[in-house]
Amino acid sequence: MRRRDDKFPDNGFEAWGGYMQAKIAKLEEQFTKSAGKAESLSHIFNGVSIYVNGYTVPSADELKVLMSNHGGIYHTYQRSEDFVIASNLPDTKVKNMNLSKIVKPEWITDSIMANKLLDYREYLLYKNSRTQQQLNFKTKVDIKKNGDVNNSISNAIFEDMKQNLSTEKSPIATTSSNDHNSHMNIKNDSNEPLKANQKPAVKTAVDPNFISEFYNNSRLHHISQLGASFKQHINDLRENSNFKFPARLELKDRIQALNSNFSQLTFEKGKVIMHIDMDCFFVSVGLRNRPELRGKPVAVTHSKGGQPRSKRPGVDRSTEFNLYKQKQAKKLSKATGTHEDEIEFESRVDNIADEDDKYGSMSEIASCSYEARAKGIGNGMFMGAALKLCPELQTIPYDFEGYKEVAYTLYNTIAQYTLDIEAVSCDEMYVDCTELLKDMDVSAQNFAMVLREEIKSKTGCPCSTGFGGNRLQARLATKRAKPDGQFFLTEDLVEDFMFGIELRDLPGVGRQTAQKLESLGHKSCGSLQSLTLNTLKTHLGNKTGAQLFDQCRGRDLNTLHFYTVRKSVSAEVNYGIRFENNEQCYEFLKQLSAEVHSRLQQFKVLGKCITLKLMVRAEEAPVETAKFMGHGFCNVINKSISLNTATNDIEVITREVISICQKQNIDPKEMRGIGIQVTKLEPLNSKTTKGAISKFLSNKLTKTDIKNENYETSNSKNTILKQPRTGTSEYKQTTPKKEKISLSSPKKSPILGVTTKSPLSKRRGRPPKGSKLRSTSKNLINKFLTGHNSVRDMPYKDPMVKNEIPVKKPIEEINVKQETKIKEEKPKGFLGLPWEKVRELLRAWLDSGQVPLSCDTELISAYMREMVIKKDIEKVNILINFLRRRTSEIGSSEWSEVYNHVIQEVQKVMIFVYGKKMFIGD
DNA sequence: ATCCTCCCCTAC
DNA sequence: TAAGGTAGGGGAGGAT
């Protein structure tokens, strides 16, 4: 079934062929290096992809089987089942496989490459069907002239195809019924041959490959994905690190070579938090190899510049723009009490000319240089408006590969020295430098200087850093430092500094909040300080109000999060959505579901809640949108469905979203945007490792334990949630009986991924008012508890307590005993404590100078287990580090046993929840 | 009270 | 032409 093109590289398309040849040569090299077998790579174009050395890459299905036989996960690119290729297998594993049939993961690790290959395949498809035709060589010239092969390839090919196609019917459409043909991406609505003077219709979401092409070009998509990948990157680095940083030595050398002494800086609370951010990231990356543009106003955008276009029929920009403005005015008047007509505000659609005007471009500016900013241009602004402000504005294209490269360099540079990093986005992070600076015994100033220099020399891009005693201060300091600078917001500066900060510059204060605050008469932090906490809460809500109250004083209680856990997975497309009928809409939902499914797999999660987001043209809005293929002025509909069991099943997702969509009863012609979101996530591993865990737990739970009544049941299925009652009878007394869930209303454990819809809420509750924690207890923790804060006084926060959990009997387990009653007892008061209290408590316990009681150890273990289950493992990590340090300082065997026990307990749950152990340094 | 759902806001 | 994504926090208001 597979055909083969043995004329490679293509002789009629040198620039492109040459480019591909180089790429493929590189692949070959990698292949040869790892396998030692390959001789050449060439192409087939049967809709499958590349093949190696005369051996075909297996089909998607074959590859799936092959990979999974070796314990790997198969990946596709472009969401088209026929295009490969990547696995998550380690090299060694791949080497042991039949390599001549497998494509190594690193061959194609980037989407650009995948796209080029896809393009190439398309081209070959195309060429093959037109063997008699000579290609137009104009594209070659264009490529040369442009000098930017990477970015002109697709367009060049496409242009070429269009030109050739315009004289006859699409060759692809005629070749066969093979649906790979659809990759041609040339839409011909009428299915009639295109006339010579007819242009092919534009691509919309109806095109089978639309999603991948759109995502390829979407800056926001790239930013989002890349940002998320760094959160994961930091997680991974932390997990695999021994937290020793040999590079610090060399860094210290460089600092000492500076031979400059700075005074010791003091930051609030002795913390040194650094915020680091690349300066106009996209532009800087683009300027690396465009030195001639340095110092000029430059913007990164899709638009090539002010070439006026002819008007699309039906476009009515002013009507649409007015709708945006009205909506904004309405919102503001509601928020501020001012009359709609009296509100003045700036809108993004101000200053946009008509489509056929030279200032009419509605291409968004992703990033612009400081020279451009000086003229009033800003990120997110439309190109038309920007050109009005600065007609000499230079534009440069996106370079997503470059962003990735620079971002990785940035992260890996910092990660050499510390892993106390919170990734914010691909070009921005917070770093807790407290330990680092102390350990290296260097000044923050020197450290910043050398670090920034290193980043600049490695990436060719400038960055700025800000230092402060908390994340807010560090962030504001960075803003002050920009561009290409550093700033230290020391303790003594905070008050004055904050006074002058504009509210809009506070993180979390966006357009809406800023305008609301302005309507209250406040523009700066200094002025907002005159408002009371309650006033703020009244106007902005409890949390936001309190946050703002702190923020305008330079306070920030939020700590850095070094370890992040994803809470939702989604994919949406709000561009190019134009359906003729419901079938097209459902087909798109199917494809988008596939995208979401693929992401769920990628992140190894299942979800229980599926939300469909629809953007529908508002009745008053013109049918033809102001922005080409944009969504225009829309109403947004969000509808969600909660499943009984978490899933990542593509069929289920597709079925549910289509079902939701049908219920909305929307004219498909009016759809302008579609998104699918999956929430209430659970780790995929909790299901797959269930068997192993159970086994582990059964082994762990010896008969003696059971006899000793440490557990009230012999069934071990849910011991993960159970708190062993180690010895004392105190727990029994304190467990309020009425909280026991009777067997007659079976509830399932959420951690096993089989929670029914309701129990989460049901099983929560306060302890009965009268219930007292054993105040007579001799154990220290309880003394501490009672002495410090009576449990009843604590904000009793979701203790996740179940006293009794009926065990769901796995269907596959026939031998399981029938007694499914499990009793769970938890030291509720302790588990209800806020984390800070626990830390305090832990410290008090460790400093008590006494021999630890096992019941105290259990309390701590139980708390940490719950934290892991709640996926709050960052805190667990901190507590464990603290515990390790202190127990090793104490040095007694009892305390080290305490530590070991806690670790063991935590790891058990970690494996259960995350599928792997937590990294714990030594 | 405490939840859930839908919606808004913010950030990059 | 143009590529208006994605995740998280939080609030309003109804259901329980």
Whole-angstrom distance, CA of residue A231 vs CA of residue A563: 8
Is the CB atom of residue A87 positioned under 7 angstroms from any atom of strand C?
no
- Average pLDDT for residues A299-323, to the nearest whole number? 83
Is the CB atom of residue A800 positioned under 7 angstroms from any atom of strand B?
no
In this complex, which residue's CA is closest to the C1' atom of nucleotide B7? A638
Residue A277 assigned to a binding site: yes
State the CATH class of domain A222-280+400-551.
Answer: alpha beta
Report the pLDDT value the prediction gives residue A904, as an integer from 0 to 100: 82
Residue in the structure block whose two tokens are 């040194």: A272
Whole-angstrom distance, CA of residue A747 vs CA of residue A741: 8
CB A335 within 8 A of CB A519: yes
Query: What is the spatial distance, in angstroms and rounded to an integer, between the CA atom of A666 and the C1' atom of B5?
Result: 21
Q: Express each pLDDT in A848-872 by its tens digit.
A: 667 777 777 777 877 777 777 666 6
Q: Which residue in A117, A109, A119, A124 sits closest to A30, CA to CA?
A: A109
The radius of gyration of chain A from alpha carbons, rounded to an integer in Å, stands at: 31
Q: Express each pLDDT in A630-658 by its tens digit.
A: 999 999 999 999 999 999 999 999 999 99
Active site residues of A: 428
Q: Express each pLDDT in A669-694 by its tens digit.
A: 999 999 999 999 999 875 444 333 23
Residue A705 assigned to a binding site: no
Is the CB atom of residue A352 positioned under 7 angstroms from any atom of strand C?
no
What are the residue ranges of CATH 3.30.70.270 in chain A? 222-280+400-551
Token couple for A21 = 């040849």
Query: What is the spatial distance, in angstroms and rounded to an integer, between the CA atom of A748 and the C1' atom of C11?
Result: 31
- State residue A587 phi and psi, 5-degree precision: -60, -40
What are the residue ranges of CATH 1.20.58.1280 in chain A? 688-914
Whole-angstrom distance, CA of residue A140 vs CA of residue A880: 62
Whole-angstrom distance, CA of residue A476 vs CA of residue A268: 14
Lowest mean pLDDT, pick from A29-43, A190-204, A809-823, A900-914:
A809-823
Res A895 pLDDT > 50: yes
- Per the structure, the residues numbered 591 to 650 in protein chain A that have their CB within 7 angstroms of any atom of strand C are 599, 625-632
Query: What is the spatial distance, in angstroms and rounded to an integer, between the CA atom of A537 and the C1' atom of C12?
Result: 15
Largest interatomic CA distance in chain A: 96
CA dihedral sign of residues A303, A308, A313, A317? positive
Q: For the beta carbon of residue A815, count every other beta carbon within 10 angstroms.
A: 4
Query: What is the spatial distance, in angstroms and rounded to an integer, between the CA atom of A84 and the C1' atom of C3?
Result: 24
Report the alpha-carbon angle A520-A522-A523, nearest 5. 135
Is the CB atom of residue A764 positioned under 7 angstroms from any atom of strand B?
yes
In this complex, which residue's CA is closest to the C1' atom of nucleotide B12? A425
- Average pLDDT for residues A872-899, to the nearest whole number? 78
- Average pLDDT for residues A755-774, to the nearest whole number? 29
What nucleotides of chain B have any atom within 7 angstroms of a protein Cβ?
2-12
Query: What is the spatial distance, in angstroms and rounded to an integer, between the CA atom of A801 and the C1' atom of B3?
Result: 17
Is the CB atom of residue A220 positioned under 7 angstroms from any atom of strand C?
yes
Which contacts of A502-511 are long-range, i.e. CB under 8 A and separated by 24 or more positions?
A: A503/A528, A503/A552, A505/A476, A505/A479, A506/A472, A506/A476, A506/A548, A506/A551, A506/A552, A507/A472, A507/A475, A507/A551, A508/A544, A508/A547, A508/A548, A508/A551, A509/A548, A509/A551
Q: Which residues pair with A671 in a beta bridge?
A: A616
Whole-angstrom distance, CA of residue A752 vs CA of residue A354: 58
CB A494 within 8 A of CB A552: no
Pick A401 or A784 by higher pLDDT.
A401
Task: Name the fold adopted by A568-683.
Answer: Dna Ligase; domain 1 (3.30.1490)
Q: Express each pLDDT in A17-76 by its tens digit.
A: 344 445 555 554 544 444 333 333 332 222 223 333 333 344 445 555 555 555 444 443
Q: What percent of chain A has pLDDT over 70?
A: 58
CB A455 within 8 A of CB A463: yes
Helix runs in A432-573, H state only: 434-440, 444-459, 471-481, 491-499, 511-519, 525-528, 533-540, 542-551
- Average pLDDT for residues A172-193, to the nearest whole number? 31
Whole-angstrom distance, CA of residue A484 vs CA of residue A464: 5
Residue A617: strand, helix, or coil: strand
Q: Which residue in A159, A163, A162, A183 sits closest to A172, CA to CA?
A: A183
- Average pLDDT for residues A792-806, to the nearest whole number? 27
Q: Which nucleotide is nearest to A199 (CA to C1')?
A: C1
Residue A375: strand, helix, or coil: coil
Q: Which residue in A440, A81, A467 sits closest to A254, CA to CA?
A: A440
List the CATH code of the domain at A688-914.
1.20.58.1280
pLDDT band at A748 (very low <50, low <70, confident <90, very high): very low
Query: What is the spatial distance, in angstroms and rounded to an integer, between the CA atom of A378 and the C1' atom of B12?
Result: 14
Lowest mean pLDDT, pick from A67-71, A504-508, A540-544:
A67-71
Helix runs in A218-314, H state only: 219-240, 247-258, 281-287
Whole-angstrom distance, CA of residue A445 vs CA of residue A186: 57
Mean pLDDT value across chain A: 69
Is the CB atom of residue A761 positioned under 7 angstroms from any atom of strand B?
yes
- State residue A102 phi and psi, 5-degree precision: -120, 145
Lowest mean pLDDT, pick from A186-190, A327-331, A813-817:
A813-817
What are the residue ranges of CATH 3.40.1170.60 in chain A? 297-391
In this complex, which residue's CA is closest to the C1' atom of nucleotide C2? A628
List the CATH code of the domain at A297-391.
3.40.1170.60
Report the pLDDT value the prediction gives residue A849, as an integer from 0 to 100: 67
Res A232 pLDDT > 90: yes
- Per the structure, the residues numbered 554 to 573 in protein chain A that have their CB within 7 angstroms of any atom of strand C are 564-573
CB A249 within 8 A of CB A442: no
Residue A421: strand, helix, or coil: strand
* Type of residue numbered A427: D
* Type of residue numbered A880: I
Report the pLDDT value the prediction gives residue A860, as an integer from 0 to 100: 81
- Average pLDDT for residues A759-774, to the nearest whole number? 29
User: Which residues, other chains included, contact A307 with Cβ-Cβ below 8 Å and sequence gap of 6+?
Assistant: A358
Q: Which nucleotide is nearest to A509 (CA to C1')?
A: B10
Whole-angstrom distance, CA of residue A533 vs CA of residue A548: 9
Lowest mean pLDDT, pick from A358-372, A612-626, A824-838:
A824-838
Res A455 pLDDT > 80: yes
Res A494 pLDDT > 80: yes
- Per the structure, the residues numbered 471 to 510 in protein chain A that have their CB within 7 angstroms of any atom of strand B are 506-510
* Type of residue numbered A228: A
Q: Which residue in A658, A614, A661, A611 sits closest to A639, CA to CA?
A: A611
Whole-angstrom distance, CA of residue A623 vs CA of residue A634: 11
Whole-angstrom distance, CA of residue A383 vs CA of residue A406: 26
- Average pLDDT for residues A418-425, to the nearest whole number? 97
pLDDT band at A738 (very low <50, low <70, confident <90, very high): very low
CB A315 within 8 A of CB A630: no
- Per the structure, the residues numbered 357 to 376 in protein chain A that have their CB within 7 angstroms of any atom of strand C are 360-364
